[in-house]
Amino acid sequence: MTISKTRENLAGWLFVAPVVVILGLFMLAPILMALWVSLTDWNGQGSPFRGSVPFVGVDNYSRLFTEDGLARQDFMTSVRNNVYYVAIVVPLQTALALGLALVVNSRLLKGRTFFRAAFFFPSVTSSVAISVVFLFVFANSGAVNALLGLFGVDGPQWFADSRGVLHLLLGAVGVVDPAAPPEALTSGGPFGLSWWEWLSGPSVAMTTIIALVVWTTSGTFMLMFLAALQDIPVSLEEAAMLDGAGRRQVFRNVTLPMLKPTMFLVLTLGLISTWQVFDQVYVMSQGNPAKTTLTPAFLSYQTAFRSFEYGSGTAISFVLFAIIVVLTLVQRWVMRERRHA
């Protein structure tokens, strides 16, 4: 080995060393430590690696899934809330981002740069600061209710309303009476929640967080779609037009297929981030009212740092990790299937 080779090796190691040490110390090591803690009943006092810390095996995990009790009920409630949240936020933000990108991409319109900036701006601001603004906007005497008032609608008390939107809708069309749900739905269900509880939909309070997040994230995703749209050669769409394809056909058969990689990325990033919603819950609702804005991320924080059950809290965060990984893999698999079809 020549001297210059040795020097290059040394330089290489020196250059990456700080990043490797920091990421190793604050990402890799913590995950391993947390895995251990999730198998104990550590209460936050002293080191979790002393012999006196009770080792409980997979108890923290089984309490989330198999044992009847408050731990499971809270966890499943948080999962239910987050499932509805994901199911609404991801399609909405993706559709809105794509729609805005298509309009902003149009060469006929002036002032496109301004509009792009306007739509993107909320994404770069502080989630905490924005949450404070939305607390005011959705307050009982806030802007949203004032706006609804102009149309003669008496707006709800957004942050205090724990009623499920799906329950309300079913009630409104007269399928069921939310005040007296059918016995068949309330008498049983999986994981300690009744079918009726599973089918609540997001609560009215949760819809404010949904609105906030769709509002803040669409801008970023719009930019991603926009970058992809601008990579599509104009000639391709023009050729299709010349061949007699209508606008809608061009969009479906030319534009949309070209956007597929970006669509995949936006959906994946959306799925990953929606399962992590935390800042907004912390500022706006702390899981209230009636635990209907509780999410696994917040529950894990609350369990560890407020109830000092670090083992249990860590177990929740690992389950959340698993949910995110599995969903990403499923999505990758679905998209691959379709590509070959």
Angle between helices 204-231 and 260-274 (to 10 degrees): 150
Q: To 5 degrees, how large is the angle CA 25–CA 304–CA 51? A: 70
The footprint of another protein on residues 228-257 (CB under 8 A) is 228
How far is CA 318 from each of CA 154, 227, 288, 304, rounded to the nearest angstrom?
42, 35, 23, 13
SS3 309: coil
Q: How far is the CB of 177 from another protein (least distance, A)?
A: 32
Per-residue tokens: 90: 């991801």
d(C-alpha 216, C-alpha 287), whole Å:
20
Least Å distance, CB 144 to another protein, is 8
Torsion sign across C-alpha atoms 219, 220, 221, 224? positive
Residue (160 or 184) nearer to another protein, CB: 160
State which residue, 9 or 186, has the beta carbon closest to another protein: 9
Paired tokens of 123: 């994404």
Cβ closer to another protein: 142 or 178? 142
CB closer to another protein out of 200 and 217: 217
Query: Tokens 């060469």 sit at which residue?
Result: 107
SS3 239: helix
Residues 124-163 that bind another protein (CB under 8 A): 124-137, 139-143, 145-147, 159
Stretch 193-212: interaction string toward another protein, x if CB under 8 A? --------------------
Nearer to another protein, 28 or 184 (CB): 28
> Is residue 164 at the binding interface for another protein, with CB under 8 A as the rule?
no
- Per CB under 8 A, the segment of 8-16, 65-73, 179-187, 192-200 that binds another protein is 8-16
Compose the 11-30 pattern: x for residues touching another protein by CB under 8 A, - for all others.
xxx-xx-xxx-xx-xxxxxx
Q: According to the binding rule CB under 8 A, does residue 78 interact with another protein?
A: no
d(CA 200, CA 85): 12
Q: Nearest distance from residue 185's CB to another protein, in Å?
A: 32
Spatial separation of the C-alpha atoms in residues 229 and 159, rounded to whole Å = 39
Least distance from another protein to the Cβ atom of residue 91, Å: 18
Q: Is the dihedral of CA 234, 237, 243, 244 positive or negative?
A: negative
Smallest gap from Cβ 290 to another protein, in A, equals: 16
Give the residue with the Cβ less far from another protein, 75 or 119.
119
**Binding residues among 298-317 for another protein as defined by CB under 8 A:** 300-301, 304-305, 310, 313-314, 317
Judged by CB under 8 A, the residue of 62, 65, 83, 115 near another protein is 115
Query: Could you say which residues in the range 79-108 bind another protein, by CB under 8 A?
Result: 99-100, 103-104, 106, 108
CB 159 within 8 A of CB 138: yes
In the complex with another protein, the residue whose CB is nearer, 29 or 169, is 29
Q: Phi, psi (5° rounding) for residue 55? A: -90, 125
DSSP string, 252-294: IIIIHHHTHHHHHHHHHHHHHHHTT--HHHHHHTTT-STTTT-
Interface positions, 48-77, toward another protein (CB under 8 A)? 48
